[in-house]
A = this chain, B = another copy of it.
């Protein structure tokens, strides 16, 4: 019987490991990566900050030059800080060869859109269902030049934010003229439950003290 129990125990461990791995739990356990818990939908500011801190890509929309003023959305990686040290401000690392930076030179107005879906917490709920949260930040996307809108410290923060979540970017070719950009938020559109968009000011967003970190 002892052989039976050993086989059973071994198999149960295998099943458990696979289950954990499927939910991303094993990776988290191994790397001790922390992840913020999903806030309650009644906490709009916390939810918006959570969507920004847990996602690592979204869509930047500009007024296009190459398509005569049509709105134009581009997939972009971003980071608002290292994991567990979110600032709320999305930073970007964009190549001058992409249309987006050229559009911004003429008109810095921009929106940045995120879904909860890539975080993996919507389950089988449709992405357009209000309970799968979605966020659009609207404002201006500014190039970070020390002489212009940015201090050297802030540029370091942007680099640390981006390269910690997107490590391969550090090796991307210099010839492609990648530069750091900072999103200046002027309006927040958040849907995270039934009943329409959540009223949320930029001030409330930045003051959110949601810090319920936990290790998965």
Contacts and interface: CB of A to CB of B under 8 A. Distances in A.
A149 interface: no
Looking at chain A, what size class is its interface with the partner chain?
A: 35 or more
Number of copies: 2
Contacts of A12: 11
A64 B59 CA distance: 16
What 4 A-B pairs have minimum CB-CB distances, sorted nearest first? A11-B11, A73-B113, A59-B59, A61-B61
Nearest to A11: B11
Given A11-B15, A57-B117, A76-B128, 10 more contacts: A4-B4, A8-B11, A14-B15, A15-B18, A57-B128, A59-B113, A61-B61, A61-B71, A62-B71, A75-B128
A10 B8 CA distance: 9
Contacts of A61: 59, 61, 71-73, 111
A103 to B, nearest CB: 9
A134 interface: yes
A189 interface: yes
